[in-house]
Structure 1
Amino acid sequence: MIVRVSVPSRVHLTLIDLGRAGYRRNGGVGFGIAAPRSTLAFAPHPGVDLRALASCSYLPAEIASLTERLEHLMGQRQLTQGLRLVEVQLPARHAGFGTGTAVALASLESLFLLNDVSVSPAYLRAHCGRGGASGIGLSSYFQGGFIFDAGRRFNPAPIVGSDATDEVREPPLEMARLAMPDWPMGVLVPPGASAISLAQEQAFFAQRLPLPDADVFEITYHALFGTLAAIHACDYAAFCASINALQRYAWKRAEIDLHGPTVRACAAHLASIGCDAVAMSSIGPALIFWARDFDAAFAAATRQYGPSAVFRTRPDNTGRILSHD
């Protein structure tokens, strides 16, 4: 049997509570998008063979870490069947699409499917090693939609990104999941912008955090009373206003500045050609954009940046698709 998994990408709009003290740590808002997708196929194998990930810019240490996690679960759950990754196609890594979480969850879920063992989404979330900073990708993998994540209980330890977290001892708390309205949207991967390395991300977190209370309160207000409420009310104007506000304040502004003038110039150009809102996903550099006259804005963006950098997408409200043959 071959298990096939097709996973929508996730857009991460912002982390929320990055302060010195409080009730919770991290949290965030984001949603699934139908394209680009991560597609993987797994075949039965005596052990765990994920070497095919090297073709998608996975480093040897990353492959080894995920392999060890699956081997540990095989032993812990006394699974007799391993798996081999036989096909894989991923969006650009470290561009803001959540591929690390998609690959980890797809690998774990396929391992149990090949062993005909039923496990819950909660179990997979807790054992995939992801969600160190945000639970958006963990939630959108299973059901898609718009997610409001309240992070985990406050911990005074230094704040680090998901890729710098080896073990997640308390899964993020999903507070709300809503169907994302089908507002036309596009993706621009800014030409010339480079992915942020793990070392750069770690240094960035160490230098910029924790945030002052006033910044945390402002981000929380726009995420909760702006973005979440606008999705619930299907209020496009309020949604766009809150998205643009999140780009201007504290954390997201600093993430955008990591890329120098490149990403900011692209966002400004998208606004100039009629886009109502532009958001950088996660630590970037991918930009998501919305426009009432979407066809005109999309055509102008394509003329400016070329068809390889710009593509249409739409919300995903269903999550991963599993099949087997």
Structure 2
Amino acid sequence: MKAGTSVLTVKIEINPRVHIGLISMHAGAPRKNGGLGFAVEGPTASIKTTSAPDLGVFDRRPKPMREREIERLRDQLEQIKQQLDLPSAATFEIAGGFLTHCGMGSGTAIKLACIEGLLEINHRTTGRKELIRLSGRGGTSGVGISTYFDGGFAFDLGVVGGKSDHFVPSSIGAADTLPLQLHRQSLPDWPLGLCLPRKCEPKTQEEEIEFFRRATPLPSVKSYEAAYVAVFQVLASLMEQDYRSFCQAISAIQESEWKRLERAEYAPHVDHTDKALRELGVDCVGMSSLGPLLYFFASSETLERVRAHSEQLDADIFLTVPNNSGRRMTSI
């Protein structure tokens, strides 16, 4: 960096997303993947990007990424800097309670925030599609990229290419085209909680890839069943803002084949925790993405009761609300 150059800092606050489920996971279909989910307020993380002579990534969270994951992110950001011929490098400091590898969508949100921060300190403007392309995300489901920018509920129809029986997680599922978004809306202000069972060990990227390899493709009828629940139950109940029907839909999606296989990865702990939450009076329980994070909707009084029982549940409990605005950026 040249002498006299001002140091610029940009801070981006990101939110978790709940991924309700993937849909088209069978071979030979005109489109594959597709998904639905929504953003929540917390726990959040902040990514502080500061101009610097050399590029560095520092994860200050209590539970940081693994060192090889940090190195991979650093290498990707360095490649973007060189590809776009950006004059300034940067340091990226990640802080907050937003957890990694548990179903909150941190990988997509952190990477997009780092890229946005890098472009911002270099006074480089670009559109969403280019940011997403640079991130390499969105090939499996468009929920994470949609909620990063806008929050709310998102439903997409995946990408063309279903005739291939090769399915991979979002961490490596880059696509030439973005998933086709069917619907987006603000989520009603329904209180909810997040539950992370302590006995469930989160999956590594390699374990996620292996799960997709052995679990796919599904029989086509299983995708049809998931699509019916996703459209006629989850989507319809949200469009009508029918809380009771929405809770019934979340319960129904847990019985779909893909979600059943995901939940089975954490047997019996997830099912035991699910049962305990229901006994405490919650209205529905679902598992986000490949888990092990559970999400549940209930009255405010019931949510507080769940939080008070966190030790009996042997789980970390976060009470939150929907986020309908997406990430927040400020210059420091």
In structure 1, what is the Cα distance between the partners aligned to 2:273 and 2:315? 15
Cα distance between partner residues in 2 of 1:228 and 1:122: 25
CA distance in 2, matches of 1:323, 1:213: 46
* Residue 106 (structure 1) aligned with residue 113 (structure 2): yes
The whole-number CA distance in structure 1 between the counterparts of 2:147 and 2:243 is 21
Structure 2 residue corresponding to 1:131, chosen from 138, 146, 149 = 138
Letter in 1 for 2:185: L
Is 2:171 aligned against 1:163? Answer: yes
- Please state how far the C-alpha of 1:287 moved relative to its aligned partner: 0.8
Q: Deviations over 1:2-51 (max 9, x none)?
A: 11010110000101100112121101000000011121111101232114
- C-alpha change, 1:304 and 1:51, in structure 2 (3 Å) is closer
Give the helix-richer structure, 1 or 2.
1
Tell which deviates more after alignment, 214-223 or 42-51: 42-51
- Offset at residue 56 of structure 1 (A): 4.5
- Listed one character per residue, the Cα deviations across residues 215-261 of structure 1 (whole Å, up to 9, x for unaligned) are 10110011111111111110111111111000012011111110011
Partner Cα distance (1:178, 1:89) in 2: 27
Q: Which secondary structure state, in structure 2, belongs to the residue aligned with residue 319 of structure 1?
A: coil
Equivalent position of 2:276 in the other structure: 269
Shift of 1:297: 4.6
**Aligned mates of 1:300, 1:10 — CA distance in 2:** 21
Residue by residue over 1:282-319, the C-alpha shift from the partner in whole angstroms, topping out at 9 and shown as x without a partner, is: 1111111112x331353145325369711210000000
Change in 2 beyond 3 A, CA 1:214/1:109: same
Q: Percent identity?
A: 32
1:270 and 1:301 in contact (8 A); partners too: no
Aligned length: 323
The answer to whether the aligner puts 1:217 opposite 2:224 as a matched pair is: yes
- The 3 A distance-change label for structure 1 pair 164 and 53 is farther
Provide the C-alpha distance between the structure 2 equivalents of 1:46 and 1:169, rounded to a whole number of angstroms: 33
Which residue is 1:5 aligned to?
12
- The separation in 1 between residues aligned to 2:87 and 2:101, in whole angstroms, is 34
What residue is the counterpart of 1:305 in the other structure? 311
- Structure-to-structure mapping, 1:1-325, within 5 angstroms: 1-52=8-59, 56-155=63-162, 156-165=164-173, 167-291=174-298, 293-305=299-311, 309-325=316-332
8 Å Cα contact 1:145/1:179 also seen in 2: yes
Amino acid at match of 2:209: Q
Note if contact 1:47-1:71 (Cα within 8 Å) is conserved in structure 2: no
Q: How far apart, in 2, do the equivalents of 1:245 and 1:87 lie?
A: 36
1:174-198 per-position Cα deviation (integer Å, ceiling 9, x unaligned) = 2211000111111111121111223
The answer to whether the 8 A contact 1:8-1:32 is kept is yes
How much does 1:79 deviate?
1.2
Instruction: Tell me how far 1:64 sits from its aligned partner.
Output: 2.8
How far apart are the structure 2 equivalents of 1:280 and 1:35? Answer: 17
Please state how far the C-alpha of 1:154 moved relative to its aligned partner.
2.0
- TM (norm. structure 1) is 0.93
**Worse overlay, 254-263 or 58-67:** 58-67
| Residue 157 (structure 1) shift | 4.5
Structure 1: 5+ residue stretches without partners = none
| CA–CA separation in structure 2 for the residues paired with 1:147 and 1:248 | 21
5+ residue gaps in structure 2?
1-7
How far, CA to CA, are the matches of 2:126 and 2:283 in structure 1?
42
